[in-house]
A and B are shown apart, each in its own frame.
Chain A
Amino acid sequence: MTVEDRLRATTGAVTEAMRPVRPLTLPPGQPEGSAPVRPHWGRLPRRWPGWLIPLAAAVAVIAVAATLVAVRDLPGSHLAPRVTPAASVTATSTAAPPPSAGPVVPRYYVTLSAESRVPVRDAIVADAGTGKQITVVKPPSNATFAGMAAGPDDRTFVLDARTFFAGPSWTPPEHIWFLVRLTPGAARQVQVTRIPIAASMSAAEIVGLALSPDDGTLAILFQPDVIDVSVKTPPGPITLRTYSLATGKALRTWTEPVPSSAAGTTLDSDNVDGLTWLADGRTLAFTYPSFAVHQTVRTLDTTSPGTNLVADSRAVFQVPAGRACGSLLMTPDGQTVICGTSTEGAGGCAKGQPEFDAYTVATGQLDRVLYRHQGSCAVGVATVEWAGDGTLAIGLVETFKSVDFSFPASDTNVVGVLTPGKLAPLRVTLTGSSYGPGTVAF
């Protein structure tokens, strides 16, 4: 009997055991501030008069334009303290030295502020070398930052702002994209500009986000029409689209032949699918389908013809049976997949520590355990945030003292440079929990 079967059986047993539910007891009189009650039952949703629609659209366009003007010059950028790190200092000053010929560990990072019931998260730009916050970028009104990706250097980032429902009636969320450029030591260290990508991802869930090695192309993996509370539109197919960062123009699009939602695929935001550009600047790697029984990493040559996400890509690695990666990233050389595992359930860390594993793509076998957490916890989560090569990465270990916790923040979290057998902590401050590869970008 599967876990799902047991859950269904228990739900049925609970239902059978229920006594009749007692009637609702409401206080006498009308509710506070109640207007005359409108008829609701049996009515179709109220529609706007036809003449009002173009007028409303014009107002909305003006409002969006005003918002974009405001965001283009975000106040947080002006307030940035004058942190002027020496140009020669890299994150290695506080972390393990990288291999001389290997990738350099990035120093600057962006992350989301802690999640709360208020659905607005800021983007925090900070310096892992000094441990200091450089600036806080506020999202446009009625939007929250939902994810980000970093460029090949540690000074270019893309932010995904998702609009949210804030009015009396449901409106599908859209995504607004921003480019963050960091110039340490300059009079104005942080520049935030809007990327002119037209609104085209209505109610979409972003599951992959990656900026090309030449900073010229943004790849977005998304599924349209999933965040639709009216559930009137079935989820669309998972779509991979590349955009010019300069013009916002869509360059290429690939879609899956059958929407994954029909197959029960599990996704996450904002880059749980580990979308990564390889160093050749033309190949994208991503997990598809997400969180299947055996997670599979596929590569797609963006210069080859075709529009089919599955047929035109190639499965190159599958997580071995019995193993599960909470997060995984392919290294830019395409040789290694680095996997972060979680340890949950009774016994917690005592029965298996969260760890970072490096798998060789060519053989599909575990090459080495980069780092295994040592400590006590009830729940432990290891998340790979950046992959350098098969022996170097940045990872996050979060632990929780109790599985019955009620508050979202992890009890401990350590972000550090991973080298075999070692996690050298970076001075990164995270105040929430569950920071995936799309919620921290190096």
Chain B
Amino acid sequence: MTETAEPAAGAEGQVTALYQAHATGLVRLAMLMLGGDQGAAEDVVQDAFLGLYRRWAALRDPDRAVAYARSSVLNGCRDVLRRRSRKIPAALLEPDAESAEARALLGEEHREVLAALRRLPDRQREAVVLRHCLDLKEAEVAEAMNVSRGTVKSSSHRGLAALARILKEDQ
């Protein structure tokens, strides 16, 4: 492709191409955040790319598009969890609030991990998932979470420690 080559279909084509390349990874991220619920995860990712599409003209650095989408997915997951926590008493959210999908498809040991993740504070959960489940670099995690890299490190550390305790105590 030469420097002057136009993409196939402008913003729509570019956003769609980006979606095709990254949707699976982002849905996986959202599933980990939302306790394995793929339907809700796909909704969050669709919304994120819709937002990206609407703001495409203002996005001058395409290298940042994936980071922007990832950050939007995290925001979307937070909103979903917030809505759920308002509707459902907190006690009912753990750990039985896992999705029926996760219950059907995942082994008990993995459902325990997802349930434990859901019991972490938002920031710790995000740092742990991005850093240790998806193996993102700290700088990428920091940008996705809109926090400093130091916060990523401390949140990740605290999250892992909390997870260890939760999983140990649940055994």
Contacts and interface: CB of A to CB of B under 8 A. Distances in A.
Q: Is the contact region of chain A dominated by helix, strand, or loop, or is it mixed?
A: loop
B40 to A, nearest CB: 13
B64 A37 contact: no
Interface string A19-37: 1011111110011111101
A41 interface: yes
A253 B156 CA distance: 29
Interface string B144-171: 0010111101101110111111110110
Nearest to B67: A229
For chain B, give the interface size range: 35 or more
A402 to B, nearest CB: 5
Interface string B119-139: 111110000100011100111
B94 A404 contact: yes
B23 A266 contact: no
A39 B169 contact: no
A19 B170 CA distance: 29
Contact of A18 (B7, B38, B151): B38
Interface of B is mostly: helix
A270 B132 CA distance: 23
B17 A41 contact: yes
B87 interface: no
Contacts of B93: 404
B129 to A, nearest CB: 8
Contacts, number: 224
Contacts of B19: 23-24
Interface in B81-135: 81-82, 85, 90, 93-94, 101-102, 105-107, 109-110, 113-114, 118-123, 128, 132-134
Contacts of A170: 61, 64
Contacts of B143: 229
B120 A403 contact: yes
Interface string A418-437: 00000000000000000010
A229 B152 CA distance: 14
B4 to A, nearest CB: 7
A18 B15 contact: no
A229 B105 CA distance: 36
B150 A406 contact: no
A31 B57 contact: yes
Nearest to A2: B164
B56 A34 contact: yes
A226 interface: yes
Contacts of A9: 109-110, 113
A260 to B, nearest CB: 10
A3 B7 contact: no
Given A4-B132, A14-B28, A404 B7 contact: no
A47 interface: no
A228 B139 contact: yes
A276 to B, nearest CB: 18
A88 interface: no
Given A3-B160, A26-B49, 8 more contacts: A7-B128, A17-B105, A31-B53, A34-B57, A119-B146, A170-B64, A227-B148, A403-B121
Interface of B: 1-7, 10-12, 14-17, 19-20, 23-24, 27-28, 31-32, 36, 38, 42, 45-46, 49-50, 53-58, 60-64, 67, 78, 81-82, 85, 90, 93-94, 101-102, 105-107, 109-110, 113-114, 118-123, 128, 132-134, 137-140, 142-143, 146, 148-151, 153-154, 156-158, 160-167, 169-170
Interface of A: 3-4, 6-11, 13-15, 17-19, 21-27, 30-35, 37, 39-43, 45, 117, 119, 146, 162, 168-170, 205-207, 226-231, 261, 266-270, 272, 290-291, 324, 326, 342, 344-347, 351, 379, 400, 402-406, 408, 436
